[in-house]
Amino acid sequence: MIEHCKEKYGLDFLAIRDRLQLDFHGTVRLINFIRQKVHEGATLPEEITAADLEDDRYLKPVLDDDALILCLDDLPEAGKPAAAAVPELSQFLSNAGANGAKTADAPMVDSLLLKNAELQAELEQLSKQFSNYRLAVQQTLDQRWQADEDTGDTKPSASSDSKDSKDEKPKDDSAYYFESYAHNDIHEVMLKDAVRTDAYRDFIYNNKDLFAGKVVLDIGCGTGILSMFCAKAGAKQVIAVDNSDIINKARENIFNNGLDKTITLLKGKMEEVILPVKQVDIIVSEWMGYALLYEAMMPSVIYARDRYLDPVNGLLVPSHANIWLAPVSDQEYLADHITYWRDVYGFDMKAMQDGIFADARPQISPARTVCGTPSAFRFLDLHTIKAEDLVFTAKWESTFKQSDSADQLLLDGFLVWFDMFFARSRVDHFIVPTTTAAEWAPKTDKNEERVAFTTGPFGTETHWKQVLMLLDKTKIKETEVVDGKKIAGEITYATAEGHHRGLTLKVTWGVEGQKQDQTWKLH
C-alpha cells in the first residue's frame, strides 16, 4: 500500500516519517492527518510539517480499526528499506551453498551470521517496544474519547457521514460541551427543576397508552431519568444515547432499578451511533438551552427524527415550542451590575464595563421589570421543523405598559424566554397558543389536560431562567416607556462565530418609525 501511494500519488509516507523523525505517536498522527484531509476532500500541503500534526485530534483514528495503525510495527526502521539485511544474508548463503563456500569466505559468513543475530535481537526488542506503544496509544484514546468498555450492550458504530451532520473541526467546542455534562452538579440542578422534570414525568405517566409496547429513543439521556420514566410506562424497548461520561452512571442507575432488560445505552453522538432498530415510535429528549436554541442540540433531534422516527405516527416528546420577547426596564439591575463599577470602595473601575453590553445574560428577571406586552415571535412544530429553520429573523411587536411608579421609565433592554408543549399526537389539531404556557390549559377532545410549561418571568422559576439583553446607551438613543405606545422590530437568531453551540442575537426596535439595533452573544 505504501509503495502504491508512492508510485501513483507521489506520497512517500516513509520519507515523511523519517524526515520529521516521528515516533510511534507521531506516525499515528501522520496517518490520521492524511486520512482526514482525504476525507474532507482537501489537498495535502506540498510539504507536511510537524506543525500540521500538533492537534491531538490526530491521535483519534479516522478509520475504525485502521489496518495501517495496527501494523505500524511491520514498517521498516527509520532510514532502512524493508527487510534489507536478512535477504542479503540469505542470498549470500544461497550462493555459497551452491558454489561450495571456500574457507576464505568463512570470516564473512561468521560476520553476516553475527549481524543477523544482532538484527533479530533488535527486531524482537522493537516489536516489544511497538507493542507497548500500541497499548499506550489505545489507553490514551480510551481516556480522551471515553471509548466504551465491552459490557455486552449493543455498541454503536461510526457512520460515514458525521451533532452532528457536523464535520469534525480543528477546534471542536463540543468537547467542552460533553465534558460539562459528565459531572453530577448540572444533573442535580436539572432533576431538581420540578417544572422541567415533572412535565416529562406527568406526560409519560398520564399517557401510558402511548408508550405501552413501543420503541422509544432518548437523546441525551443524562442520568437516565427519562428512559426510566418510559420503561415504567410500559415501553417495549428504550434506546438511550449520550456522548458524555454521565452515561456510565446512567447504566448503573438503570441496572440498580432493574430496568436494564428494557433500556439499552449507546455512548456517542447521535449522528455517529447506529441504533439496533430501523425505526422508533417515540423520541423523547430534553434538548432545550437558554433562549431555547443555545447549545444547538435540536439539530441532533431533527437528524434522529428524519432517520429513525416512524414518519406517519411517530411522536416527539415534547412536540412544540414557542419563543417570546418583551421589553424590560430594570434600573435596579443596572445599578447593581453596570454603574456599580464606577464606584467600587471609592475607586472608579470603568474599565470593567468594557464589553459589558455585548453578552446576553441568563438570569431570573422579576415580572415587574417587564414594561410591555410579551410577543410570541417564533412557534416551532418539532415534527416538521428543519435544521435550517433554526437560524432565522422574525418580527415582534409590543405595547408599553407604564408601572405604578411615579418615575418615568426608560427602556433598558429585552427579555427572551420559551414555552414547551407536549401533544399526544402529531395530528392532534394543536392550536398555537396566544398566551404563555403559564396561562394556557386547553383540553383535548377526551377532556385531558395537555402538559406545558413556561420558562418566562410570569411562571415558576426554572434552571433555564430568561435571557436578558441590556442596551448599550452609550451607542443608542434612549427610549422612554410611554403607556400604550407601540414598539416593534425584528429579532435574529444566528450561530455564534467560533462557537457553533452558542447564539448571536440581534434585535431591531423602533417607536414611531425610529429604528435602532444591537447585537449580543450568548456563549
| pLDDT mean over 45-54 | 90
How high is the pLDDT of residue 82?
46
What's the CATH code of the domain at 214? 3.40.50.150
Specify whether 334 is located in the same domain as 434: yes
Cis, bond preceding 81 (omega within 30 deg of 0):
no
User: Cα–Cα distance between 238 and 203 in angstroms, integer?
Assistant: 17
Domain-located, residue 58: yes
Per the prediction, the chain carries an average pLDDT of 82
Whether residue 65 lies inside any domain: the answer is yes
Assess whether 138 and 181 both reside in one domain.
Answer: no
How high is the pLDDT of residue 133?
A: 56
Structural domain count of the chain: 3
Residue 200 lies in a domain: yes
> Is 135 found in the same domain as 229?
no
Asked if the structure places residue 293 within a domain, the reply is no
| 320-334 per-position pLDDT tens digit | 999 999 999 999 999
- Is the pLDDT confidence value at 397 over 50? yes
The edge-to-edge listing of strands for the beta sheet with 315-317 is 263-267, 237-242, 215-219, 282-285, 315-317
> Residue 444's domain is classified under what CATH number?
2.70.160.11
Band of pLDDT at residue 85, cut at 50, 70 and 90: very low
Q: Would you say 487 and 327 are in contact if contact means Cβ atoms under 8 Å apart?
A: yes
Would you state the pLDDT for residue 501? 73
Q: Which amino acid is at 359?
A: D
- Cell digits of residue 35: 486520512
Secondary structure string (H, E, C) spanning 382-445: CCCCCHHHHCEEEEEEEEECCCCCCCCCECCEEEEEEEEEECCCCCCCCCCCCCCHHHCCCECC
The pLDDT value given to residue 425:
86
Q: Is the pLDDT of residue 47 over 50?
A: yes
- Which domain does 118 fall in, by range? 2-145
pLDDT band at 523 (very low <50, low <70, confident <90, very high): confident
Residue 402 predicted with pLDDT over 90:
no
pTM beyond 0.85: the answer is no
- Residue 7 sits in the same domain as residue 80: yes
Q: Is the pLDDT of residue 290 over 80?
A: yes
| pLDDT exceeds 90 at position 185 | no
Instruction: Say whether both 243 and 340 belong to one domain.
Output: no
- pLDDT value at residue 426: 80
Cβ contact 62:17 at 8 Å: no
Residue 228 lies in a domain: yes
Percent of the chain with pLDDT over 90: 52
Residue 468 maps to a domain: yes
- Asked if residue 173 lies in contact with residue 503, where contact means CB atoms within 8 angstroms, the answer is no
Residues 325 and 426 in one domain: yes
Q: Do 379 and 494 have their domain in common?
A: yes
pLDDT of the residue at 1: 85
Q: What is the pLDDT of residue 127?
A: 62
- Which helix (H) or strand (E) is 284 found in, with range? strand 282-285
Q: Clarify whether residues 414 and 452 are in a common domain.
A: yes
- Does the residue 517 lie in any domain? yes
Using CA atoms, how far apart are residues 341 and 349, in angstroms rounded to an integer? 5
Q: Quick one: pLDDT band at residue 132, thresholds 50, 70, 90? A: low
Q: Verify that 34 and 178 share a domain, yes or no.
A: no
Ranges of H-type helices in 233-317: 246-256, 298-308
Tell me what pLDDT residue 367 has. 93
Q: How many CB atoms lie within 10 A of CB 207?
A: 17
Instruction: Indicate if 328 and 467 belong to the same structural domain.
Output: yes
Q: What tens digit of pLDDT does each residue of 298-319 get?
A: 999 999 999 999 999 999 999 9
Does a structural domain hold residue 160?
Answer: no
The residue-averaged pLDDT of 278-307 equals: 93
Listed range (181-185, 398-402, 499-503) with the worst mean pLDDT: 181-185
Residues noted as catalytic? 286, 295
B/e letters for 3-16, b = 16+ CB within 10 Å, e = fewer, are eeeeeeeeeebbeb
Tell me, yes or no, whether 200 and 112 share the same domain. no
Q: What is the pLDDT of residue 405?
A: 64
The pLDDT, as a whole number, for residue 60 is 85
Tens of pLDDT, residue by residue over 101-120, are 444 556 676 677 777 777 77
Model pLDDT for residues 412-455, shown as the tens digit of each residue: 999 999 999 998 888 755 666 667 776 765 444 444 556 899 99
Reported as a pLDDT band with limits 50, 70 and 90, residue 240 is very high
Amino acid 184: pLDDT: 63
Question: Across residues 389-418, what is the average pLDDT?
Answer: 89
Judge if 485 and 390 occupy the same domain: yes
